[in-house]
């Protein structure tokens, strides 16, 4: 049985989640990404294969070789100015 590398607990569950990839100030939001999550602390684990696919898709979208399925506007704020 696997255990969490962060907290050591063995309650690991397979699920799908949202992953936000950020590189050079550019973002890619990917939904339904397979991962494993510790049920105790919430730490998420992604395989190298999954992360490579996300990185490759990011490169294709930002080099205009692929069109994203959907786009959205994202507000950006500095922590120091939050109320």
Domain ranges of the chain: 1-66
pTM of the model: 0.85
Please give the CATH number for the structural domain made up of 1-66.
Answer: 3.10.20.860
Neighbours of 52 (CB within 10 A): 10
pLDDT of residue 2: 85
The SS3 assignment for 39 reads coil
pLDDT attached to residue 1:
56
pLDDT score of 28: 96
* Digitized pLDDT (tens) for each residue of the chain, 83 residues in all: 589 999 999 999 999 999 999 999 999 999 999 999 999 999 999 999 999 999 999 999 999 999 999 999 989 999 999 98
């Amino acid at each position: 049985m696997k255990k969490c590398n962060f907290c050591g607990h063995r309650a690991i569950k397979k699920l799908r989640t949202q992953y936000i990839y950020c590189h050079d100030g550019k973002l890619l939001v990917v939904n339904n990404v397979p991962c494993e999550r510790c049920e105790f602390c919430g730490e998420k684990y992604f395989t190298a294969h999954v992360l490579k696919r996300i990185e490759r898709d990011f490169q294709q979208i930002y080099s205009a070789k692929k069109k994203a399925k959907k786009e959205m506007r994202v507000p950006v704020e500095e922590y120091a100015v939050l109320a």
